[in-house]
Amino acid sequence: MCATYRAGSEALKLDPQLLYTSMAVCIRLAVPPPGILFIGENSGSPATAPLNLGFNIGRLRGSLKLQRSNNSTAGGLVIRAFPKTDETLESTELEREEEEGGSGGEEEEEEEEEEAAGGRLVDTWREIHGRDDWVGMLDPMEPLLRRELIRYGEMAQACYDAFDFDPFSKYCGSCKYNRRFFFPSLDISDLGYDVTRYLYATSNINLPNFFRKSRQSSVWSENANWMGYVAVSGDAASRRLGRRDIAVAWRGTVTRLEWVADLMDFLVPASSKGGIPCSDPNVKVESGFLNLYTDKAERCRFCKYSAREQILTEVRRLIHLYRDEEISITVTGHSLGSALAILSAYDIAETGLNVREDGREIPVCVFSFSGPRVGNWQFKERIQGLGVKVLRVVNVHDTVPKVPGILVNETVPTIVRKFGDWIPWSYCHVGVELALDHKNSPFLKDTNDPSCFHNLEAHLHLLDGYHGKGQRFFLSSGRDPALVNKASDFLKDHHLVPPYWRQDENKGMVRSHDGRWIQPERPRLDDHPPDIHHHLEQITLKSAKSSSRPN
């Protein structure tokens, strides 16, 4: 059995034993553990240009990129190829599937669904955005919704990949990349979005396990931490999406879960401490989340405006800029970032920013990943009444979505809940839940590490393989499972993907002209646009008008 593929000008034949190229390069293939391809060169000269290879052999499907590095020695290339199901495939089974015409039937059907879904987004984005509360879209899983969830999840993941966690860096706690080149710097420019504003929060509040500070004496800021960004879809992406999408992504926590204990305090009115202008004092949110969202440091260049003021002014500016277009507002975040996503989406609706001059409302949606509870039952009713749609993606083994409110929450009987309304520890989840189970993935190891259960890349992997309750787990896209181990040790060892593998080259150090290794200076960091005062004044007026709306 063999199959012929073409990549550029290269024709290539593939069977379970041998690979041949038109350049007379003979390379032998062996598959000792499932999912790993070892390719060793036997003769000829390897191609210097990269060879992109897409393959489909039974249930083993994926794409390979072969490239010989300049400093490589003779002897071979090593590449990985994950099958869709992580199953060991024997040649007899492959031949039988090919003879029966069953070349990964259900996976091919899934790919066809994905391709067809791409053309439907213009017509169905409102349903994807939660207009009907995702009824009938989660079981079985709507392919287009899955694709969009992964896309917004990757926007949240970008906050981790761009954040400077290194305490030896004087830029620790900031974003490593210039705002104008944010997505290209992370090699995800195909999103089609432009980052228009960075978001900062003050580290003055008691969150020692969340905020990062440099050990150096000369630092970029004594008080601030970078918290995320506001982005807007470009013209081409907007045509593909069917509207101009304003996206907000909040940074959370990758592995350290101690922040949960730091923040599990008590409920306070959403309007307290100069917070969100809600006329109902019974609408309450967790005090730590509200403090993080509303606190400021007047003497700090980055935090003289609160995170709340920063996001509202930028969203207001973009709505005004694209006032003649169809607009959506999508907020996403993971972990603590999920709580801020829900709080800020509620704030946008409560202040009436999403209400146009003619009374039409811009839809506001939250795609939340592994987030905690944010407020009480009245908060849930208020955010629902304002029309904010929330879809929460959780791993059933993760502890973070179970807090705060371990004792009194949305799962208790109504009479207990009503009694709990009188105590400051009665919490309630908002929106619709999509529950995933990492034990259904054959790629992931059996571990007791709670940080693995909480990992965002693991959630995106689970989304990629989820097709509905009780359905077989298989990956529906070309998303690489190796991403799971970017900041965890969750993949099974036979995939040969090292744990915690993502890091900057030389940990950000560069060699100077005199041969010394130094940390390079970065361009001046963005703080706040000059027209922020104008937009704050307009928001104050807007809030005064919206406060007259019935609760």
Tell me the pLDDT tens digit for each residue of 40-84: 333 333 444 444 455 444 444 455 544 444 444 334 444 555 666
- Catalytic, 335? Answer yes
Residue 318, token pair as written in the block: 């973009």
pLDDT at position 28 over 70: no
- Cβ-proximal residues to 79 (8 Å cutoff; 6+ apart), any chain: 37, 39, 64, 65, 66
- What pLDDT band is residue 523 in, cutting at 50, 70 and 90? confident
Model pLDDT, residue 522 = 85
**Percentage above 90 pLDDT, the chain:** 53
For residue 171, give the amino acid letter. Answer: Y
- Residue 534 is predicted with a pLDDT of 75
How far is CA 418 from each of CA 253, 266, 377, 426, 428, rounded to the nearest angstrom? 33, 17, 9, 9, 12
The whole-number pLDDT of residue 147 equals: 96
Strands (DSSP E) found in 410-449: 432-436
Please pick, among 174, 328, 335, 451, the residue that the annotation labels catalytic: 335
pLDDT of residue 235: 98
* Residue 45 bears catalytic tag: no
Cβ-based neighbour number of residue 511 at 10 Å: 10
| pLDDT tens string 96-132 | 433 333 334 544 554 555 455 555 899 999 999 999 9
pLDDT confidence of residue 521: 87
**Confidence at residue 448, expressed as pLDDT on a 0 to 100 scale:** 94
Asked if 309 contacts 295 with a C-beta cutoff of 8 angstroms, the reply is no
> DSSP string covering 52-119, please?
EEEEEETTEEEEEEE---TTPPTT-EEEE---SS-----HHHHHHHHHTT-SSHHHHHHHHHHHHHHT
Helices 307-321 and 287-294 meet at what angle, rounded to 10? 60
pLDDT for the residue 467 = 97
The residue among 482 and 414 whose pLDDT is bigger is 482
For the whole model, what pTM was predicted?
Answer: 0.80
Looking at the DSSP assignment, which residues form a beta bridge with residue 36? Answer: 80
Contact (Cβ atoms closer than 8 angstroms) between residue 114 and residue 151: no
Looking at residues 226-249, what average pLDDT do you find? 97
Nearby residues of 104 by Cβ (< 8 Å), 6 or more positions away: 56, 58, 59, 61, 84, 97
**Within a 10 A sphere around the Cβ of 323, how many other Cβ atoms?**
10
Across 79-93, 149-163, 205-219, least confident range: 79-93
437/416 Cα distance (integer angstroms): 29
H helices of 231-359, where? Answer: 235-241, 259-263, 287-294, 307-321, 336-350
Residue 119 Cα to chain centre, angstroms: 23
User: Rounded CA gap, 258 and 446, in Å?
Assistant: 23
486 three-state secondary structure: helix
Residue 254 per-residue DSSP state: S
Buried b / exposed e along 443-457 (16+ C-beta atoms within 10 A): bbeeeeeebbbbbbb
Of 7-21, 60-74, 155-169, 492-506, the poorest mean pLDDT is in 7-21
Residue ranges, comma separated, of all CATH 3.40.50.1820 domains in the chain are 143-484+524-546
Burial 179-193, CB ≥16 within 10 A → b, else e: beebbebbebeebbb
Residue 163, SS3?
strand
Instruction: Give the integer Cα–Cα distance in Å for 157 and 541.
Output: 35
3-state secondary structure 283-296: CEEEHHHHHHHHCC
**N- to C-terminal Cα separation, the chain:** 68
pLDDT in tens, 376-413: 999 999 999 999 999 999 999 999 999 988 776 777 66
Give the CA radius of gyration of the chain. 25
Q: How far apart are CA 291 and CA 128, in angstroms?
A: 32
More confident residue, 267 or 409: 267
Quick one: pLDDT band at residue 223, thresholds 50, 70, 90? confident
Instruction: For the chain, count helices (H), then strands (E).
Output: 15, 19
Give the number of residues written for the chain: 551
- The mean pLDDT of the chain is 80
d(CA 493, CA 178): 36
Give the integer Cα–Cα distance in Å for 44 and 172.
49
Q: Is the peptide bond before 184 cis (omega within 30 degrees of 0)?
A: no
Specify whether the CB–CB gap between 226 and 163 falls below 8 A: yes
Per-residue model confidence as pLDDT tens digits over 289-333: 999 999 998 888 888 999 999 999 999 999 999 999 999 999 999
Asked if 429 is an active-site residue, the reply is no
Strand, helix or coil for residue 341: helix
**Active-site residue, selected from the candidate residues 166, 245, 295, 398:** 398
The domain 143-484+524-546 is classified under which CATH number: 3.40.50.300, 3.40.1050.10, 3.40.50.1820, 2.40.340.10? 3.40.50.1820
Give the distance from CA 154 to its chain's centroid.
3
pLDDT, tens digit, 9 for 90 and up, residues 430-467: 999 999 999 999 999 999 999 999 999 999 999 999 99
